[in-house]
Amino acid sequence: MTMSIQQRNEATVHPSARLSGTLPPSGDKSLSNRIGLLASIGKGISRVEGFLASADCIAVLKAMEALGARTHFDRDGELFIHGTGGKMMPPVGPLDLGNSGTGLRLLTGLLAGSPVTATLTGDASLCRRPMGRIMEPLERMGARIAAQGKGRCAPLQVTGTPLKGITYELPVASAQVKSCCMLAALYAKGTTTIVEPTPTRDHTEHVFQRLGLPFSLEENRITVDGLGPDGPSVPSCNWRIPGDISSAAFWLVAAAAHRRGAVTLERVGLNPRRTAVIEVLKRMGARIKVTTRKQDEKDVEPHGDIRITSSKLKGTVIGGDEIPNLIDELPILAVAGACAEGETVIKDAQELRVKESDRIQSMCHNLLKLGVQVEEMDDGMRIHGPASARPGGVVDSFGDHRVAMAMAVYGLLSEAQVTIKRVDCVETSYPAFWEDLVKLGGQVE
């Protein structure tokens, strides 16, 4: 299937007679971003297999190139990063992180205490997202950050300044805020302690550990020993990044809810802080088998294969501490809820309102438009499934990649075609999504 970027701006997905096959989903976005950032300030050349070459992660690499790193992919898609060896160059012009909230927030942390001045910006969606949540702890550490957008939003002008260690209790369960503080803490004088009220994804901790960076973990407290304005000495390293469970989740739900679904996802990351979607689907009655693979020295985290077959799904309640560990899977879990017998409730998920779009509003609007009974709540939604008829129709991605892909899966499960407007955003996290949909037996125009 060959589609140009322009043609991709609208996609029509047809109901599919079967959904089966085997795929490795594309590489983990969170790990790609962290490894991309840290290898770029490292010594020598790091090699990365499975790096996600999506718009978000490429924006991070481009920003790091503007700070002095060099990167290239070989013919097999392996990424080579020539690090700056610690000293970053002052960039010419603003660093444009596109749609990448992780990129902008983590890079702000990395730059806050280093002797560089830079402006970090992004697309319209990113410039609407809250940056006060990172500015607050960074400013307490002594950082100088000027938000040029209204209401403490990007563009952010960061003037690298000597930082001091602090103790900071995260007011929101956010791995991005935690990771931003951990990166800034490396350049501070003294110790920084970050306290997490609810556990969030811990990829930064895994990458720090692999690189021998000075930090320790005790229950919900992360302590980083600051190295001052020269920052850390990051060794070069060879990495292999597993598939992204957030991308795999689209096919997990598609196969579970389809009458004739049987899909195997290979080499998917199985970090326990990311796998709550598997537990929720099991609770909904999905038939899932997970087989872990052996981890070698390049694999920074556990990974394995997930086999999922059709089943009759039933509603469930998703909330509490599991939310941060499936935050990006909530749009596709809303689709699972629409196909399940009984009520599915998503609660405690206010964070969805400040993602690439307001995902509570985007998903409720789209599902309602397609005849699903769904009620919007402040912190989630209540879905009454199963939609008795799934008539198809036209919906919008609201510029949000995960909304676009969730609605495409709904199209595979419908009785008539679903057209999704503005689907070019899928490039941000899963450029092979449409090809994979076709590989599994789906049809898209």
- Amino acid at position 87, single letter: K
Residue (207 or 395) nearer to ligand S3P, CB: 207
Residue (300 or 440) nearer to ligand S3P, CB: 300
Q: What is the number of alpha carbons within 13 Å of residue 348 lying toward its C-beta?
A: 14
Q: How far is the CB of 287 from ligand S3P (least distance, A)?
A: 28
Residue (114 or 200) nearer to ligand S3P, CB: 200
Residue (13 or 38) nearer to ligand S3P, CB: 38
Give all strands (DSSP E) within 4-66, no chain letters.
10-14, 19-23, 45-49
What SS3 class is residue 316? Answer: coil
Beta strand pairing call for 79-82 and 70-73: antiparallel
Q: Are 301 and 337 in contact (CB under 8 A)?
A: no
Q: How far is the CB of 42 from ligand S3P (least distance, A)?
A: 19
Residue (355 or 390) nearer to ligand S3P, CB: 355
Residue (231 or 324) nearer to ligand S3P, CB: 324
Q: Where are the alpha helices (DSSP H) in 67-131?
A: 101-112
Positions annotated as catalytic residues are 328
Q: How far is the CB of 349 from ligand S3P (least distance, A)?
A: 10
Q: How far is the CB of 173 from ligand S3P (least distance, A)?
A: 7
Contacting positions for ligand S3P (CB under 6 A): 30, 33, 102, 174-176, 179, 200-201, 327-328, 351
Q: Where are the alpha helices (DSSP H) in 127-244?
A: 132-140, 175-186, 203-211
Helix (H) or strand (E) holding 36: helix 29-40
The Cα 130–Cα 171 span in angstroms is 13
Can you read off the two tokens belonging to residue 310? 């059709």
Q: How far is the CB of 128 from ligand S3P (least distance, A)?
A: 14
Please calculate the CA angle 299-300-302 and round it to the nearest 5 degrees: 75
The Cα 29–Cα 427 span in angstroms is 12
Q: How far is the CB of 197 from ligand S3P (least distance, A)?
A: 13
The Cα 337–Cα 280 span in angstroms is 11
Q: What is the DSSP letter of 351?
A: G
The Cα 79–Cα 283 span in angstroms is 38
Q: How far apart are the first and last CA of the chain?
A: 9
In the complex, residue closest to ligand S3P by CB = 30
